[in-house]
Each structure stands twice: as structure tokens, then as C-alpha cells.
Amino acid sequence: MPKPLNLAFDPVARAQELWRQRWDAADSMAVATSVMRVQQLLIARYDETLRGHGLTFARYEALVLLSFSRAGLPLSKIGERLMVHPTSVTNTVQRLAADGLVARSPNPRDGRGTLATITEAGRAAVRAATDDLVALDFGLTALDSDDRARLFALLRKVRAAAGDFFGTSGPDERR
């Protein structure tokens, strides 16, 4: 958990100025650095909160995804949705299964596949953990409703361009 730094200056803005004196794309660098830093700050908060429920953020994400499915999901689907490597999915699901939060079963519609299904204990864990994260407002209380919409839209542009959905290049971004 990164303790508050209380720096008297914004380290990213400082880096941006120095960068500009030497290289191009200083604004992009500053945005990229900001994304990394915010991710770091947020996930530290989440993991700290989730530790009380025996979860990491990676496991929590998988559990939430499974909580949205009645019949369970093939591991391949989980990996696709969460952008996680196949072997990492196997690992995550095994850990969740070891904790009784998920059940593994052969996929009836594909003899090669495995189906992961959330258990009642899993649903209870998701509920409890989610209550805590919602109470934190996911660490985003600094943003009002408009800010959130704007931030989401901007990040969505980046995701679309990076091939998160709609193919590898930007889609018709409404307008």
C-alpha cells in the first residue's frame, strides 16, 4: 500500500516539464504516466480492502464475472473477457476452487473444456467485498458524475484504439 507521499509538487507534471526539454510527445508521456500511477493507487486500495475477504483484485474480477452467469463460464471465456493468459486463468480458478468460491466441472458442450461456476460461498464473498468497494466508491469520490462520464469516454477511446473491442482500430465513436 503506497503511503501518501505529501509531495509539495506533482511528480508527473514535473517529469512532463523535464521531458519536454528533451523529447517529443511530452503530453502523451504525462497521460501514460498518470494512467500507471492511478492504477497503482487504486489497486493498492482495492487489494487492501479485499485482503479482508481473502481475495485479490484479480480473483475478485473473476468472481464478479462468474456472478453474472448462472450456468458458469468456460475458462477460455474468462481469459478473453478479463484479458488474462490461459495459464493464469487456470491458476486463478484453481485458487478460487480451493477456497470453495468456485466449482469446476467438465463443459457438457465441449469435451475439451472446463466450466467454472460460482458457489453460494462465492456469491456471499462477492457481495461482502463489493459492499466494501462500493463504500469506497472505488476510490473515486474526487470525481463528480460528469467527471466520471468524461473520464470513461476518454478511456474508452484509448481502449477502442488498442483493440479492446470493435477490432484493432478505432470504431465509429458516435459522431
Partner DNA sequence: CCGATTTCAGTAAGACTGATATTA
Partner DNA sequence: CTAATATCAGTCATACTGAAATCG
Footprint of DNA (CB under 7 A): 1-2, 44, 56-59, 74-76, 79, 84-95, 104, 107, 110-115
Number of other residues whose CB lies within 10 A of the CB of residue 175: 3
Q: Which is nearer to DNA, 17 or 94 (CB)?
A: 94
CA distance linking residue 13 with residue 33, whole number of Å = 10
Output DSSP code: residue 29.
H
Going from the C-alpha of 165 to that of each of 75, 149, 154, 171, the distances in angstroms are 19, 19, 15, 9
Q: Where are the beta strands (DSSP E) in the chain?
A: 73-74, 102-106, 114-118
CA distance linking residue 65 with residue 42, whole number of Å = 20
Q: How far is the CB of 72 from a copy of itself (least distance, A)?
A: 16
Q: How far is the CB of 113 from DNA (least distance, A)?
A: 3
CA distance linking residue 118 with residue 140, whole number of Å = 28
Q: Which is nearer to a copy of itself, 80 or 110 (CB)?
A: 80
Q: Does 151 bind a copy of itself (CB under 8 A)?
A: yes
Name the segment binding a copy of itself (CB under 8 A); options: 87-95, 99-107, 113-121, 129-137: 129-137
Q: How far is the CB of 51 from a copy of itself (least distance, A)?
A: 16
Q: Does 80 bind a copy of itself (CB under 8 A)?
A: yes
Q: How far is the CB of 138 from DNA (least distance, A)?
A: 18
